[in-house]
Structures are given as C-alpha cells and as structure tokens.
Amino acid sequence: MTSTKTVIEMKNVSKYFGAVKALENVSLQLYSQEILGLVGDNAAGKSTLLKILSGVHLPNKGQIFVEGKDAEIRCPMDARRVGIETVYQDFMLAPNLDIVANIFLGRELTRWGRMEKLHKKQMEKKAAEILKDLNADLGPLSNLVMSLSGGQQQLVAIARALLYSPKVILMDEPTASLSVRAIEPFLELVKNLKAKGCSIIYVSHRLPDVLEISDRIVVLRAGQLVAEKMKDSTSLEEVVYFMMGIENQGKRKISQETIHG
C-alpha cells in the first residue's frame, strides 16, 4: 500500500519560455512508494515538469521540497544528490560503449595509483548485481549497447538510474522505443521498482499503461494542473476528458483511437 509520506513537493512552480507558459503555478506531491502517472496532451508541460525536477531547467517561480527540505535543484548533479534519477525516452546511452561503461557513464569508479585508473572489476561486479536484481539477462557485460534490442537498452538505462539507489525515478515516455512485446515486462519492472521502495513519476501517452501501473494520476493541460485522481476513482474516459478540457461540457463520445493512442 502507498504511504502518505511526501517525498517530493512542488509548490506553485511556473516555467516560461519567452511568451510560452510551459508550467503555470503547478503544485503537486509525490508520495513514498507511489507511482504517479503524469498525463496531458502534446505541449501540456509534462517533460518541462520532469526537467525541472531533474535539474535540466530552472523554474521561474516556485519551490521544490525533497523529504521536507528545500531542494535547490539547479543542475542534474543537484537532482542526483537528493536522490532523483531520470530515464529518458531515447535512453541517452552511448551506443559504442559496453554495458558496464553505460551503466557508469559519467560516474565511473576510480582508484588512486600512480595514475587514476578506472576500477573496472568493481564496476563489473556492481553492474552485474544491479542487472541480476532487475532479472535482466543481457549476455556478456562487454557487449556494446548498439548490439542490444530496444528492451535491453531500456534495462541498461534503468540499471544506470538505479546505480546509487535513488528515492525517485522520473520516466518520460519510457515505452516509446519499445516493441509491443517488451512493454508488458517493462510495466512489471516498474511495479517491482515501486515494491523495492522507489517513488516514480511516469509520463506516457499510452493511457491504458498509465492506468494499469499508477496509484494516482495527475493531468496537465496547457501548463496547468487540471485534475488529480486516485487511479481507482477514475477511468480512461474521464482522464481523456480532462486532457481535452471537455470535462464540463457533457461527456461527448470519444473514439477508441483517441483513448488508446
């Protein structure tokens, strides 16, 4: 069961790109061991919200608290320091490096000798541990990432996010590059991450997936938070009405195509 301990709190956060109000006065909480589904139409502000939490963008207004403390997230390293990791749609991997190198990309373990050397054995051991924990069989860890399938690359990206046991994982369209076959196992993996103690913000256009895995769903529309619903007290149709801004206009029929994307 999801606890009510707040891990992240965003208070009145706004982000402008020139005249574009990408986010306007958004306040939301992410609770401990919760999967929060964040949905909205194109340009609603979803990626902007995740980028603010991951230190890619600075908000123009508002505050972010992590476990009650003002988090002052000004760059990606700040986000990592407070336990927030991100898995991007295109995985952000280096295809011509091997699996271990990708898991440790930018955070290689080093040891001091006459020269600073990469602590290869230790990195291999840690990478193998994380992948085993994810039930991920990717073959030899010396395999180049470019030789892996989309689903396998996704696992490398998740393993990288798990390297320092984050409190929070942000996922922006994580299934966009996956084959249909790979999606269901991926959703199971996300549920397992929650069971192991992570809190997750999950952004996707695939609404049935969002409804399947989320505890709570937040809808953004044109930069504003327009609905916040427990998964069990909403429906696909209602979420679509909020996304489209027709929740108060009588529930006109929405095609299955709109719902299933």
Ligand X SMILES: Nc1ncnc2c1ncn2[C@@H]1O[C@H](COP(=O)(O)OP(=O)(O)OP(=O)(O)O)[C@@H](O)[C@H]1O
In the complex, which residues of this chain contact ligand X (CB under 6 A)?
A: 17, 20, 22, 40, 42-48
Tally DSSP H helices, then E strands, for the chain.
9, 12
Tokens of 213: 């895995």
For residue 55, the partner it binds in ligand X, Mg ion, none, with Cβ less than 5 to 8 A by kind, is none
Residue located via tokens 């001091």: 112
Torsion of Cα atoms, 58 then 59 then 65 then 70, to 10°? 70
C-beta separation of 6 from 29 below 8 A: yes
Least distance from ligand X to the Cβ atom of residue 175, Å = 13
For residue 45, the partner it binds in Mg ion, ligand X, none, with Cβ less than 5 to 8 A by kind, is ligand X
Binding window for Mg ion (CB under 5 A); candidates: 9-17, 47-55, 142-150, 247-255? 47-55
Least distance from Mg ion to the Cβ atom of residue 43, Å = 8
Q: Closer to ligand X by CB, 172 or 215: give it.
A: 172
Least distance from ligand X to the Cβ atom of residue 108, Å = 29
**Amino acid identity for residue 39 in this structure:** V
Q: Which of 129, 134, 125, 128 is nearest to 154 (CA)?
A: 134
State the SS3 of 42-68.
Answer: CCCCHHHHHHHHCCCCCCCEEEEEECC
Q: Closer to ligand X by CB, 20 or 109: give it.
A: 20
For residue 40, the partner it binds in ligand X, Mg ion, none, with Cβ less than 5 to 8 A by kind, is ligand X
- Considering only 33, 47, 154, 175, the residue that binds Mg ion (CB under 5 A) is 47
**What is the C-alpha to C-alpha distance for residues 204 and 185, in angstroms, rounded to an integer?**
16
For residue 32, the partner it binds in Mg ion, ligand X, none, with Cβ less than 5 to 8 A by kind, is none
40-77-46 Cα angle (round to 5): 5
Strand segments, DSSP code E, in 32-147 are 35-39, 61-66, 69-70, 84-87, 110-112, 116-118
Binding window for Mg ion (CB under 5 A); candidates: 18-26, 46-54, 186-194, 248-256? 46-54
C-beta separation of 199 from 34 below 8 A: yes
Least distance from Mg ion to the Cβ atom of residue 46, Å = 5
Q: Closer to ligand X by CB, 42 or 96: give it.
A: 42
Q: Closer to ligand X by CB, 22 or 148: give it.
A: 22
Least distance from Mg ion to the Cβ atom of residue 201, Å = 12
Least distance from Mg ion to the Cβ atom of residue 172, Å = 6
Half-sphere exposure of 72 (CA within 13 A, CB side): 1
Residue located via tokens 């574009």: 20
Tokens of 142: 């010396």
Q: Closer to ligand X by CB, 46 or 160: give it.
A: 46
Q: Closer to ligand X by CB, 24 or 108: give it.
A: 24
Residues that bind Mg ion (CB under 5 A): 47
